[in-house]
Structure 1
């Protein structure tokens, strides 16, 4: 029993010495290739066995013949271990290099293509994460391109819409200054109309900038959608009479909501103005409010003839104005973008869909708690 304990002690001391040397080598090689680290690990295993055997032989527990046999076996094991470690290391390194090359496509606006062939569980998990990240980056790039396109269109359209009334105001003011205006009162009225139009455009830009910056401050209060719809219809009635459009406000349920009355009046006002301007004379614009499983649905249905299916996803984008993009009645393309921003600030949703003869804009708001 005593001899066995001594053999175990000498073998442990020899193996421990080889292990410490291996740990030092791994520390020095921690920034090198994985192949080198695997080779060191294999070398430590073989060296620990050889060191323990030599320590036992030095203590005279092994005969010279037994020592030579054990040493030969250890050397053969070392050859096989080194070959296996090198093969495994090269395979892992090659797979890692292929993964690195595939990941470089992220910076080139390309899609990530996983390298073919089997991989370890860790590399396979990393490959899946890179593929998911590539998909998210592709979506982000698409959104960025869409937003950039919208910004460019908005700048172009705003510049056009600002230039037209400014040119008119300048011409009319010069005519008044030179005393060649046949009807100064009519010129002054027209100048005031153009100034009000410019003021509305600047107000829309300011409101949209607050929405995009997250600086829209809401003051919600409990009210009935019946009152909201009634106020909106009263405000839009003069414009409807001017365009020869009938306004219908039924059915409207007296459902309570907790919203910012001023902002929601702007939402309904923008939808009604947009619907009236798109509906031909003798057409009808209908406003409805009803309960639904998702909350309270306010809808405005017009007679515009419908929106092309390919344009429906862009209706609420900033600067979108459809086929009448260059005509003044189309506005600056900010009204519906403001509608969506205000509705989403109320934790609601804005949507649009085609119906027979026109389209239906729907605003879904959370129902007020009892």
Structure 2
């Protein structure tokens, strides 16, 4: 429990609340004591003023301070009128408890009444004024903070201080309860994510967590769900890829094994047709292995590119001439609209591979009779190359994912048409290595269009030797 985040968060919030409560208690106490000191001083000043007025009246009536020498009754009466005496002081003489600390002296400083003040004692002086002149002075020591002569005042002070610390104690208890609830509530989504993470680590890629408020924890939950979805999709696509690759490898291997066994058993003569069949299957295996190697090198950023200025228009024309006969046999018309003089800095061998893969993709997946069109030209300061074909096409929601790694529109199409399912992934790697962009879209001919754009200029791909982007699978 002590090592849990809940306990640590509880302690952090509780400690903060305790510090705040204690600080507030001390601040309230300081404010009370300071205000109460001011109250004592103000009350003392009012009493001195009241006593001075009473003595001034007696002085004016008697014509001097002689009335004080007749006895102490007039002095104690003045004290009672000024509320210096205790509530029980009704008779002459000293009241119960300590006597008042007020001393009366004449204008020259001679003692008249009250306790005698030692020379040099720090006292406050309050004048007794009669007809505009000071006839005497009331001397009193400065009031001591929080030292009260009145029992009611002391009780009030005690109650206020006790109430302050009771409030602080209750605040700490309330803070502990609130801290515990907050620690538990704040960490509920964290615990859910932690449990889901353990399930995800155990291979349960269908695990999802509930997204709560749109805060940091909510964003973390959404990111976790996206991660789980991505891991699940990649695991599924990896299984499909392994199944596809095993099928692609098994087919030519089975043919090779059958041909060799037929030759060994004498069921087939080792003539030119048998050797051609063997060579064809070996070629399929080589192409598949080469495609896998290309993708692995592209993922590692280890594909070699030898960049130099070249004529893209001539390169595209040669690629069309290389497949024209095969297109004719497949019942597909091949159109071209190539602007002459398109210059690009690139690797000629890789660009030939790019065009061959795209044209091969259209050849395999365009129904006969059909048409394939290659366009190349300059648009808005860029070189644009587009290969479009007739039906069938690809669903619009699947177009952005055609170049994602391991993605297949339909798992059976590659096997049906003999493709390895890696062609467009290699195309994307080549385009990105040349500083371009590749995208799939709906064709105006009714099928699929693959559009490639490069920055215009001989230095478009400068500095890209050996570089490659990330790759994924294809339309096949």
TM-score in terms of structure 2 length? 0.61
Listed as ranges, the matches of 1:71-110 within 5 Å are 71-88=158-175, 90-107=177-194, 108=196, 109-110=207-208
Listed as ranges, the matches of 1:42-121 within 5 Å are 42-47=21-26, 61-64=145-148, 65=150, 68-88=155-175, 90-107=177-194, 108=196, 109-114=207-212
2:13 to 27, 34, 38: 34
Query: Matches of 1:171 and 1:262 in 2, distance apart?
Result: 36
Shift of 1:177: 1.9
- The answer for the alignment partner of 2:449 in structure 1 is 360
Name the CA shift for 1:44/1:282 in 2 (closer, same or farther; >3 Å).
Answer: closer
2:349 aligned counterpart, secondary structure: helix
Query: 1:187-222 CA deviation, whole Å, 9 max, x = no partner?
Result: 111000100110000000001111223333433333
- The answer for the alignment partner of 1:342 in structure 2 is 430
Name the CA shift for 1:164/1:71 in 2 (closer, same or farther; >3 Å).
Answer: same
Shift of 1:344: 2.8
Higher helix share: 1
Shift of 1:301: 1.1
Shift of 1:149: 1.9
- The answer for the alignment partner of 2:109 in structure 1 is none
Question: Which structure has the larger Rg?
Answer: 2
2:232 to 112, 128, 145: 145
| CA contact 2:10–2:183 (8 Å) conserved in 1 | no
- The answer for the alignment partner of 2:219 in structure 1 is 132
Q: Please list every run of 5 or more consecutive structure 1 residues that lacks an aligned counterpart in the other structure.
A: 1-28, 116-126
- The answer for the alignment partner of 1:187 in structure 2 is 274
| CA contact 2:374–2:386 (8 Å) conserved in 1 | yes
- The answer for the alignment partner of 1:119 in structure 2 is none
- The answer for the alignment partner of 1:286 in structure 2 is 373
| CA contact 1:99–1:114 (8 Å) conserved in 2 | no
Name the CA shift for 1:105/1:30 in 2 (closer, same or farther; >3 Å).
Answer: closer
Query: 1:238-295 CA deviation, whole Å, 9 max, x = no partner?
Result: 4324424332221435333333332222111100011112234453221111333483
Name the CA shift for 1:347/1:75 in 2 (closer, same or farther; >3 Å).
Answer: farther
Shift of 1:96: 3.5
Q: Please list every run of 5 or more consecutive structure 2 residues that lacks an aligned counterpart in the other structure.
A: 1-7, 38-142, 197-206, 460-476
1:266 aligned counterpart, secondary structure: helix
TM-score in terms of structure 1 length? 0.77
Shift of 1:48: 7.1
Listed as ranges, the matches of 1:148-163 within 5 Å are 148-163=235-250
Query: Matches of 2:223 and 2:277 in 1, distance apart?
Result: 52
Name the CA shift for 1:88/1:263 in 2 (closer, same or farther; >3 Å).
Answer: farther
Q: CA RMSD in A?
A: 3.2
1:32 aligned counterpart, secondary structure: helix
1:232 to 282, 300, 319: 319
| CA contact 2:399–2:440 (8 Å) conserved in 1 | yes
Query: Matches of 1:45 and 1:143 in 2, distance apart?
Result: 52
| CA contact 2:10–2:179 (8 Å) conserved in 1 | no
Query: Matches of 2:419 and 2:270 in 1, distance apart?
Result: 28
Query: 1:55-103 CA deviation, whole Å, 9 max, x = no partner?
Result: x9xx954324556543432322233344345445543542332121112
| CA contact 2:9–2:183 (8 Å) conserved in 1 | no
Which region of structure 1 is more displaced relative to structure 2, 219-228 or 207-216?
219-228
Query: Matches of 2:220 and 2:307 in 1, distance apart?
Result: 39
Which region of structure 1 is more displaced relative to structure 2, 359-368 or 75-84?
75-84
1:250 aligned counterpart, secondary structure: strand
